């Protein structure tokens, strides 16, 4: 059967409209559980730079404000749309996003959404789309009272934030809706941070030093990496300030063997090698072969060398160096609730039922890697989660079960002391949400049996 004229698969038609593409992306996120990073790029291929910018803004913005937009839409529909009409719901949410959060003139929003409805093959519902959006434009947005709706978070995330961070939960949700800062890590093997700041100034780019990361720079405005001085030659990399802090905690020294577990896409791997060029060896491990290619690409651009291994960190006995490692960085898989501002689809993709299995995995990774840490060595445990169930409680459980593990108090001026590490909460103009804990292995003669 030939698709309706104007649909993305229609033969001999113009290229699919932006609204149709956005609806396709949103449907894949909501119905298939795919991330924006997975389903957005294929829709960008044949677009102009301006069109790509609009589509990205629409998809990220609609996900960012999904729960608030959905609250308004529910109040405007006389009855819920049928399951077969879900594309029209996504189109209406997009239209509300444009009305509330974009600079597109309202009349253009209405015209484009009605045309998009027709292109999607839902001509009988064009009147509904026009009526709902016209009324929304005329009446303005109804003011919600529930903080979860105001800040557009699923109720379970809002409840967990409130329960764990009673003083900060509102600020965290507000920060999650901000556009993330564009943060760089200067390659101090090639030059100083002050020198690179001057290069940025000379290039007409406003920037400032990060507060806590010694190689960190925050740009006033995001730019394509091609516009960054020396990027292609390895002078600088894009990495949030929070992620850069692992280097100082590792206390690197010449001659060490270092393991970066769960290493992809390689930002921390590169940061370690830049900070200590005289390591005996750095091994970067990840179970995702495709993401490991990103590690290799980063190392190639920065002219750095590491042993890159595709393996399961939880099965360390199958691949780890039996002589052990002086330092291990475990950036464990987690709920990623500290980086929602960078990945707003997390609000839609993550489920409360995900947390317990993640905690089980995190503890199993610690237990699998610990035997390969040399006596007197250090393991840094990190996540980009803001939930203690994945952070302090994991460290506490591990310490209670591991006689030769010692918690290292962190004498740093960032984050909140949880008793088992430091928790950074997302800040509107600062670092992402991140947790760090340092564990030293008691001195001894041999690596633990494995």
Q: Please give the pLDDT value at position 186.
A: 98
Q: Please give the pLDDT value at position 429.
A: 75
The fold adopted by the segment(s) 18-144 is N-utilizing Substance Protein B Homolog; Chain A (1.10.940)
Length of the chain: 450
Return the structure tokens found at 94.
């997009």
Taking the C-alpha atoms of residue 379 and residue 358, their distance in angstroms, rounded to an integer, is 19
Q: Please give the pLDDT value at position 447.
A: 52
Q: Please give the pLDDT value at position 10.
A: 41
Q: Please give the pLDDT value at position 23.
A: 98
How many other C-beta atoms can be found within 10 angstroms of the C-beta atom of residue 4? Answer: 15
Q: Is 310 exposed, middle or buried (0-12, 13-18, 19+ CB in 10 A)?
A: middle
Taking the C-alpha atoms of residue 395 and residue 439, their distance in angstroms, rounded to an integer, is 9
Q: Is 216 exposed, middle or buried (0-12, 13-18, 19+ CB in 10 A)?
A: buried
Taking the C-alpha atoms of residue 237 and residue 186, their distance in angstroms, rounded to an integer, is 7
The verdict on whether residue 290 carries a ligand-binding annotation is: no
Radius of gyration, CA atoms only, the chain = 24
Reading the chain (450 residues) residue by residue, the pLDDT tens digits are 334 443 444 434 456 799 999 999 999 999 999 999 999 999 999 999 999 999 999 999 999 999 999 999 999 999 999 999 999 999 999 999 999 999 999 999 999 999 999 999 999 999 999 999 999 999 999 999 999 999 999 999 999 999 999 999 999 999 999 999 999 999 999 999 999 999 999 999 999 999 999 999 999 999 999 999 999 999 999 999 999 999 999 999 999 999 999 999 999 999 999 999 999 999 999 999 999 999 999 999 999 999 999 999 999 999 999 999 999 999 999 999 999 999 999 999 999 999 999 999 999 999 999 999 999 999 999 999 999 999 999 999 999 999 999 999 999 999 999 999 999 999 877 899 999 999 999 997 555 454
Tell me if the domain spanning 182-238 has CATH number 1.10.287.70: no
Residue 2 DSSP label: P
The verdict on whether residue 262 carries a ligand-binding annotation is: yes
Q: Which of 266, 293, 367, 384 is nearest to 333 (CA)?
A: 384
Q: Are 450 and 372 in contact (CB under 8 A)?
A: yes
Q: Please give the pLDDT value at position 338.
A: 98
Taking the C-alpha atoms of residue 203 and residue 349, their distance in angstroms, rounded to an integer, is 39
Q: Which of 176, 170, 172, 216 is nearest to 193 (CA)?
A: 216
How many other C-beta atoms can be found within 10 angstroms of the C-beta atom of residue 441? Answer: 22
The fold adopted by the segment(s) 241-441 is Rossmann fold (3.40.50)
Which residues, other chains included, contact 299 with Cβ-Cβ below 8 Å and sequence gap of 6+?
A: 266, 269, 270, 273, 305, 306, 308
Numbers of helices and strands, H then E, in the chain: 19, 13
How many other C-beta atoms can be found within 10 angstroms of the C-beta atom of residue 12? Answer: 5
What residues are labeled active site? 384
Peptide bond into 265 cis (omega under 30): yes
The verdict on whether residue 267 carries a ligand-binding annotation is: yes
CA 137 to chain centre: 33
Q: Please give the pLDDT value at position 360.
A: 98
How many other C-beta atoms can be found within 10 angstroms of the C-beta atom of residue 22? Answer: 26
Which residues, other chains included, contact 377 with Cβ-Cβ below 8 Å and sequence gap of 6+?
A: 324, 325, 326, 327, 328, 440, 441
Q: Where are the domains of the chain?
A: 18-144, 182-238, 241-441
SS3 for the chain is CCCCCCCCCCCCCCCCCHHHHHHHHHHHHHHHCCCHHHHCHHHHCCCCHHHHHHHHHHHHHHHHCHHHHHHHHHHHCCCCCCHHHHHHHHHHHHHHHHHHHCCCCHHHHHHHHHHHHHHCCCHHHHHHHHHHHHHHHHHCCCCCCCHHHHCCCCHHHHHHHHHHCCCCHHHHHHHHCCCCCEEEEECCCCCCHHHHHHHHHHCCCCEEECCCCCCEEEECCCCCHHHCCCCCCCCEEECCHHHHCHHHHHCCCCCCEEEEECCCCCHHHHHHHHHCCCCCEEEEEECCHHHHHHHHHHHHHHCCCCEEEECCHHHHHHCCCCCCEEEEEEECCCCCCCCCCCCCCHHHHCCHHHHHHHHHHHHHHHHHHHHHEEEEEEEEEEECCCCHHHCHHHHHHHHHHCCCEEEECCCCCCCEECCCCEEECCCCCCCCCEEEEEEEECCCCCCCCC
The verdict on whether residue 117 carries a ligand-binding annotation is: no
Q: Which of 266, 216, 427, 212 is nearest to 339 (CA)?
A: 427
Q: Please give the pLDDT value at position 12.
A: 40
Q: Which of 349, 438, 331 is nearest to 395 (CA)?
A: 438
CA diameter of the chain: 78
Taking the C-alpha atoms of residue 212 and residue 49, their distance in angstroms, rounded to an integer, is 35
The verdict on whether residue 417 carries a ligand-binding annotation is: no
Taking the C-alpha atoms of residue 263 and residue 145, their distance in angstroms, rounded to an integer, is 42
């Amino acid at each position: 059967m030939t698709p309706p004229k104007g649909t993305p698969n229609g033969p001999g038609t113009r290229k699919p409209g932006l609204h149709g593409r956005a609806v396709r992306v949103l449907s894949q996120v909501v119905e298939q559980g795919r991330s924006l990073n997975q389903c957005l790029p294929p829709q960008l291929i044949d677009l102009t730079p301006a069109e790509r910018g609009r589509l990205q803004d629409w998809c990220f913005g609609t996900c960012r404000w999904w729960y608030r937009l959905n609250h308004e839409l529910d109040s405007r529909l006389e009855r819920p749309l049928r399951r077969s009409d879900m594309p029209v719901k996504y189109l209406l949410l997009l239209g509300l996003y444009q009305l509330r959060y974009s600079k597109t003139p309202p009349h253009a929003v209405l015209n484009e959404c009605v045309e998009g409805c027709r292109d999607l093959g839902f001509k009988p519902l064009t009147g509904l789309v026009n009526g709902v959006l016209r009324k929304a434009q005329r009446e303005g947005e109804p003011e919600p009272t529930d903080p979860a709706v105001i800040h557009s978070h699923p109720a379970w995330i809002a409840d967990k934030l409130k329960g764990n961070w009673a003083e900060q939960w509102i600020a965290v949700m507000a920060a999650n809706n901000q556009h993330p800062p564009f943060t760089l890590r200067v390659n101090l093997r090639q030059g100083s941070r002050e020198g690179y700041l001057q290069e940025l100034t000379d290039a007409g780019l406003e920037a400032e030093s990060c507060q806590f990361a010694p190689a960190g720079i925050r740009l006033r405005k995001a730019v394509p990496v091609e516009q960054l001085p020396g990027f292609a030659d390895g002078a600088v990399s894009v990495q949030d300030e929070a992620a850069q802090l692992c280097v100082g905690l590792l206390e690197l020294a010449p001659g060490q063997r270092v393991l970066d577990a769960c290493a992809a896409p390689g930002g921390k791997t590169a940061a370690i090698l830049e900070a200590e060029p005289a390591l005996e060896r750095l091994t970067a491990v990840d179970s995702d072969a495709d993401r490991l290619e990103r590690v290799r690409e980063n190392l190639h651009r920065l002219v750095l060398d590491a042993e890159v291994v595709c393996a399961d960190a939880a099965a360390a006995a199958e691949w780890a160096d039996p002589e052990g490692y002086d330092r291990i960085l475990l950036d464990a898989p987690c709920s990623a609730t500290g980086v929602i501002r960078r990945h707003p689809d997390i609000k839609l993709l993550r489920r409360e039922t995900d947390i317990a299995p993640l905690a089980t995995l995190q503890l199993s990774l610690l237990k699998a890697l610990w035997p390969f840490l040399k006596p007197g060595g250090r393991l840094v445990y990190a996540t980009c989660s803001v939930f203690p169930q994945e952070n302090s409680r994991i460290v506490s459980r591990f310490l209670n079960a591991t006689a030769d593990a010692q918690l290292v108090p962190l004498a740093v001026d960032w984050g909140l002391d949880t008793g088992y590490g430091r928790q950074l909460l997302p800040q509107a103009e600062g670092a992402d949400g991140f947790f760090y804990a340092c564990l030293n292995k008691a001195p001894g003669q041999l690596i633990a049996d494995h």
